[in-house]
Amino acid sequence: MTLEHRTDPESFFASLKDRFRSGEAADAEFSVGYRIAGDGGGDWKVTVGEGGLNVEKDPAGFDDCHVIVHTDLNGFSGAVRGGAGDRGTFPPPSIRIETVRLPGSGGAVGIEPDLTPSVALRLFDRRRPAGGNRPEELVSLKVMNAIDQRFATGPVMGRWFAGLKDRKFLANKCPECGRTQIPPREICAVCRVRAEEFVELGPKGTITAWDLVYYASPDPLTGAIRETPYAVVYVMLDGASEQEAFSLELKKSDIGNMKIGGRVRPVWAEKTKGSYEDILYFELDD
Ligand SMILES: [Zn+2]
């Protein structure tokens, strides 16, 4: 048995017509150019619109394409055979996607959801190797790739997080209008000047509004669902400027007594590390 290590672009693009599910394509409209470098590569243009498919070899140009995919034979084979859509990253490093224009737009830059691999999986049947002698799939592994990254907080948010570590709320103050911003932002949003002076607010404050949540969204980082109901209070920390409320959860046992104008104090984690988790919640300050 021989294993096919590379997908031949010529036969791949030739197979598209037979695999096209026109019934799925009624609302799809896009044009993608492929520029595949190397021996056996070349230029192709795939256009889907009005429920139909057009595949063009050596098109006159890519001007009317939404995106152009630049890759080589390895990148192309990998994308086609990898079952694009169940991998951790798209596109892989050997593929560069150039956005020319977006469907229905004047040319804004970005990746349009309709051009992602999941659409390809919907519009086309899976490719079967020619000859009927299908290789046996021995192992199938689903892998979610995690990338270990460090993010810089920058000088402004860095001060804010360092403040939390010291159990302090550090806002920055505009040199022109004097308003405080919490969490701090580099520029005063009203005066558009740099706000480099930091002042400590609170730690106590006054509730100006509250939300009582009965249906919680999953935590975007962990997927965990919070216990409901829970309350989020908007707190004007002592010393804060108007409109600069800071919001956080209220202690569950205080929910029955929360009211606009109520006084609260923060409850800090036993061990702080310079993150939002350093503030556990606010509690009523009776
Ligand atoms: Zn200002």
CATH of the domain at 56: 3.30.1050.10
Residue 77, Cβ density class (10 Å: 0-12 exposed, 13-18 middle, ≥19 buried): buried
In the structure encoding, which two tokens stand for residue 255, read together?
A: 């929910």
**Partners of 258 in beta bridges:** none
| 113 and 217 fall within a common domain | no
| 279 and 193 fall within a common domain | yes
Tell whether 229 is covered by a domain: yes
| 109 and 161 fall within a common domain | no
| 62 and 166 fall within a common domain | no
Residues with CB under 5 A from ligand 1 (ion): 174, 176-177, 188, 190-191
Quote the ligand 1 centre to 156 CA distance (angstroms).
16
Tell whether 105 is covered by a domain: yes
Checking phi first, is residue 55 left (phi over 0); if not, alpha (psi -120 to 50) or beta? Answer: beta
How many domains are there within the chain?
2
| 171 and 274 fall within a common domain | yes
Helix (H) or strand (E) holding 75: helix 73-81
Quote the ligand 1 centre to 175 CA distance (angstroms).
7
Tell whether 162 is covered by a domain: yes
* pLDDT digits (tens), the chain, 286 positions: 444 456 788 988 988 888 888 888 877 788 889 999 988 899 999 998 888 899 999 999 898 888 888 998 888 887 776 544 444 455 667 788 887 765 554 443 444 444 555 667 678 887 765 555 666 778 877 777 778 888 888 999 999 999 999 999 999 999 999 999 999 999 998 999 999 999 999 999 999 999 998 888 887 777 777 888 899 999 999 999 988 999 999 999 999 999 999 999 999 999 999 999 999 999 999 8
Domain with 225 in it? 154-284
* pTM, entire model: 0.49
| 95 and 179 fall within a common domain | no
Quote the ligand 1 centre to 158 CA distance (angstroms).
21
Tell whether 130 is covered by a domain: no
Contacts of 130 (CB under 8 A, 6+ apart): 11
| 55 and 104 fall within a common domain | yes
Say what the pLDDT of residue 221 is.
75
Q: Which one-letter DSSP state was computed for residue 89?
A: S
